[in-house]
């Protein structure tokens, strides 16, 4: 149920006066007030939730200030959103309305004009306005996440770029992404429970975010580029900062605790009075410029494009040859990888229940393969043989079968992988190349498939033939790599040495597993 008008009025006043901690404290008290008596929880209108979503990550409230009150307000906003999702759930909280993206520029301008009108008539605000959730704040107008991002995937891409390039910002964005994934997963699960391929799935939040992207495989690739953004030059160009100067450190004046400048009206010196307005004006100009110069979906290649592509290739080579110990850190760390895995799991579940709104799983896994196969070995391993499962064993096996194809030089689709298919097509395979990295990837995929067969209980009691084939594959891959006489130097040599270790350890694990199962 809605927050009572009088309490909502008090909360709104707190928010508009930037007394955010007090406002969210009051909203939290109202939210939890009826838990002991099973009374309906009271929640505010969507604008208050949208405000909380922005405050939780806005740089002026987090990384660009040392003001502890602002930090407390940002934490309170994030905590309140988590409480709303936990207590009320996504369906009844108004979260979906609060987290909308993709408003056309004309409507944004119209909304901005209405906002200015409301500011000029602030003293005449009616009770009806308060009850409807009208809230005047730059953090839900010009400075909101939705107003400054092209769409949700632009935010995702920037957040993952921060995991590599801007660790301070990543600390905030990672918590925000985790909350968003909680919301998206719960929302999709709720709609999926109503029936397979239900037309109501189009109203789910993930469906809305995907619809903004548009149809076509290239648009789906953009979503994958966002989820696997690695902070290289091209990724940073495509998924740039959400707010102007977002990554700048705390202002020196604030660090030194300097006093605000005094007013000197005679000399047109207004002190700090207009600083916030000037920064907001710059932000609006930046958004308008970004909108005018946004790339079209179809355009010709220019020399600048070719140069950027070459830079991208150089970055990819540098990342591909990173040592195993450095590669995970260079990809944002394990927390970043786990969030990326959750997105891939979300896409897979969405594809299973609503292929007409997205793509079917075969096409989705083909897109996954396009982006995952070239990753550095230690990153590849997190998606092919993860320590923590993010797909069901059968789906992981299907994805791995797709990942096998470019490495083995095959195009046939095996469908559901059983023991017979595994023995015939994968158990004794080696990569078409003599690269230690490629053969290590084949070994990891083989091991992952073997584990999937084991965990799903589809292995037959007689494992003698399977053991022979797996052992042949281990030897074949080892011999193929050993026969590569080309000497490598520098990072390439380090990467190959790491790959040989992965190859050896993967083979040992498979043989140990089969020996244990045979007992």
Q: Could you read off the pLDDT of 189-198 as tens digits, one per residue?
A: 998 887 656 6
| pLDDT reported for residue 267 | 56
Q: What is the four-CA torsion angle of 153, 158, 162, 165, rounded to 10 degrees?
A: 130
CB 155 within 8 A of CB 146: no
Residue 410 reports pLDDT greater than 90: no
| pLDDT reported for residue 415 | 64
Separation of alpha carbons 117 and 133, rounded Å? 16
Higher pLDDT, 218 or 286: 218
CA-to-CA dists, residue 318 to 81, 160, 166, 372, 438, angstroms: 40, 19, 19, 16, 17
Query: Sorting pLDDT into bands at 50, 70 and 90, what band is 413?
Result: low
Q: Which residue in this structure is represented by tokens 């069901």?
A: 392
| pLDDT reported for residue 133 | 55
| pLDDT reported for residue 199 | 79
Longest dimension (CA), the chain: 95
Separation of alpha carbons 190 and 92, rounded Å? 12
Query: Sorting pLDDT into bands at 50, 70 and 90, what band is 256?
Result: low
Higher pLDDT, 391 or 112: 391
Separation of alpha carbons 31 and 83, rounded Å? 8
| pLDDT reported for residue 237 | 97
Q: Which of 246, 250, 228, 69 is nearest to 163 (CA)?
A: 228
| pLDDT reported for residue 322 | 44
Residue 238 reports pLDDT greater than 50: yes
CA atoms within 13 A on the CB side of 129: 14
CB 170 within 8 A of CB 159: yes
pTM beyond 0.85: no
Q: Which of 71, 331, 314, 358 is nearest to 197 (CA)?
A: 358
Separation of alpha carbons 56 and 20, rounded Å? 11
Residue 366 reports pLDDT greater than 90: yes
| pLDDT reported for residue 25 | 96
What sign does the CA torsion over 24, 29, 31, 32 have? positive
**Maximum mean pLDDT: which of 105-109, 210-214, 272-276:** 210-214
| pLDDT reported for residue 197 | 62
Q: Which of 407, 402, 409, 496 is nearest to 449 (CA)?
A: 402
CB contact set of 64 (below 8 Å; sequence gap of 6+): 245, 246, 248, 249, 250, 251
Query: Sorting pLDDT into bands at 50, 70 and 90, what band is 274?
Result: very low
Residue 488 reports pLDDT greater than 90: no
Residue 110 reports pLDDT greater than 90: no
Residue 462 reports pLDDT greater than 70: yes
CB 175 within 8 A of CB 188: no
Q: Could you read off the pLDDT of 70-108 as tens digits, one per residue?
A: 999 999 999 999 999 999 999 888 898 999 986 533 343
Q: What is the four-CA torsion angle of 154, 158, 159, 164, rounded to 10 degrees?
A: 150
Q: Which of 494, 504, 500 is nearest to 321 (CA)?
A: 494
Residue 51 reports pLDDT greater than 70: yes
| pLDDT reported for residue 102 | 64
Separation of alpha carbons 414 and 422, rounded Å? 9
Residue 291 reports pLDDT greater than 50: no
Q: What one-character DSSP code corresponds to residue 143?
A: T
Least confident of 161-170, 271-280, 467-476: 271-280
Residue 405 reports pLDDT greater than 80: yes
| pLDDT reported for residue 303 | 39
Q: Could you read off the pLDDT of 445-458 as tens digits, one per residue?
A: 999 999 999 999 99
Q: Could you read off the pLDDT of 325-338 as tens digits, one per residue?
A: 578 998 999 999 99
Helix pair 68-87, 167-192: axis angle to 10 deg: 10
Residue 19 reports pLDDT greater than 90: yes
Q: Angle CA(222)–CA(224)–CA(225) in degrees, nearest 5?
A: 65
Q: What one-character DSSP code corresponds to residue 65?
A: -
Helix pair 152-165, 167-192: axis angle to 10 deg: 140
CB 40 within 8 A of CB 93: no
Separation of alpha carbons 108 and 433, rounded Å? 53
Take residue 35 and report the two structure tokens written for it: 């838990």
| pLDDT reported for residue 324 | 55
User: 2 by DSSP, 3-state: which?
Assistant: strand
| pLDDT reported for residue 285 | 47
Residue 221's CB is within 10 A of a number of other CB atoms, namely 13
Separation of alpha carbons 195 and 325, rounded Å? 45
Query: Sorting pLDDT into bands at 50, 70 and 90, what band is 490?
Result: low
Separation of alpha carbons 79 and 176, rounded Å? 10
Separation of alpha carbons 116 and 137, rounded Å? 11
The residues that bridge with 269 in the sheet, in sequence order, are: 264
Separation of alpha carbons 137 and 143, rounded Å? 9
| pLDDT reported for residue 227 | 98
Take residue 487 and report the two structure tokens written for it: 């000497």
CA atoms within 13 A on the CB side of 110: 5
Task: Say if residue 133 is exposed, middle or buried (CB neighbours under 10 Å; 0-12, 13-18, 19+).
Answer: buried
Helix pair 490-518, 377-384: axis angle to 10 deg: 30
Q: Which residue in this structure is represented by tokens 């007013």?
A: 263
User: 307 by DSSP, 3-state: which?
Assistant: helix
Residue 26 reports pLDDT greater than 60: yes
């Amino acid at each position: 149920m809605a927050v009572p008008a009088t309490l909502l009025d008090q909360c709104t006043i707190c928010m508009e006066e930037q007394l955010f901690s007090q406002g969210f404290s009051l909203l939290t008290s109202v939210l939890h007030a009826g838990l002991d008596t099973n009374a309906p929880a009271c929640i505010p209108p969507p604008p208050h939730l949208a405000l909380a979503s922005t405050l939780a990550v806005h740089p002026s409230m987090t990384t660009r200030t040392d003001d502890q009150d602002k930090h407390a307000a940002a934490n309170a906003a994030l905590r309140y959103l988590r409480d709303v999702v936990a207590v009320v759930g996504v369906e009844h909280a108004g979260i979906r309305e609060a987290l909308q993206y993709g408003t056309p520029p004309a409507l944004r301008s119209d909304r901005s004009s209405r906002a200015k009108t409301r500011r000029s008539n602030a003293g005449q605000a009616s009770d009806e306005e308060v009850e409807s959730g009208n809230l005047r704040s730059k953090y839900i107008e010009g400075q909101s996440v939705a107003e400054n991002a092209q769409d949700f995937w632009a935010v995702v891409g920037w957040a993952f770029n921060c995991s590599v390039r801007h660790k301070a910002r990543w600390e905030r964005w990672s918590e925000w992404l985790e909350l968003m994934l909680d919301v998206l997963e719960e929302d999709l699960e709720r709609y999926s429970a109503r029936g397979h391929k239900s037309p109501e799935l189009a109203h789910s939040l993930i469906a809305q975010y995907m619809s903004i992207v548009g149809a076509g495989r290239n648009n789906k690739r953009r979503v994958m580029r966002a989820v696997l953004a690695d902070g290289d030059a091209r990724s940073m160009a495509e998924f740039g900062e959400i707010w102007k100067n977002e990554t700048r450190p705390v202002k020196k004046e604030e660090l030194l605790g300097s006093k605000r400048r005094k007013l000197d009206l005679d000399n047109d010196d207004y002190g700090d009075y207009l600083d916030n307005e000037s920064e907001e004006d710059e932000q609006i100009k930046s958004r308008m410029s970004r909108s005018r110069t946004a790339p079209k979906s179809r355009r010709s290649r220019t020399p600048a494009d070719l140069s950027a592509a070459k830079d991208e290739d150089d970055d990819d080579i540098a990342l591909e040859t990173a040592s195993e110990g450095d590669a995970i850190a260079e990809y944002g760390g394990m927390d970043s990888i786990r969030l990326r895995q959750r997105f891939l799991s979300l896409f897979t579940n969405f594809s299973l229940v609503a292929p007409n709104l997205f793509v079917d799983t075969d096409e989705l896994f083909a897109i996954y393969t396009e982006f995952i196969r070239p990753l550095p070995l230690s990153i590849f391993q997190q998606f092919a043989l993860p320590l923590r499962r993010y797909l069901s064993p059968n789906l992981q096996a299907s994805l791995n079968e797709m990942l096998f194809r470019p490495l083995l030089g095959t195009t046939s689709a095996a469908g559901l992988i059983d023991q017979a298919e595994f023995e015939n097509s994968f158990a004794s395979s080696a990569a078409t190349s003599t690269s230690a990295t490629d053969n290590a990837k084949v070994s990891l995929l083989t091991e992952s498939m073997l584990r999937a067969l084991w965990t799903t209980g589809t292995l037959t009691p007689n494992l003698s033939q399977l053991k022979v084939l797996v052992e042949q594959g281990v030897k074949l891959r080892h011999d193929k790599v050993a026969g590569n006489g080309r000497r490598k130097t520098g990072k390439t040599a380090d990467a190959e040495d790491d790959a040989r270790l992965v190859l050896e350890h993967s083979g040992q694990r498979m043989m140990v597993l089969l020996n244990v199962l045979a007992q």
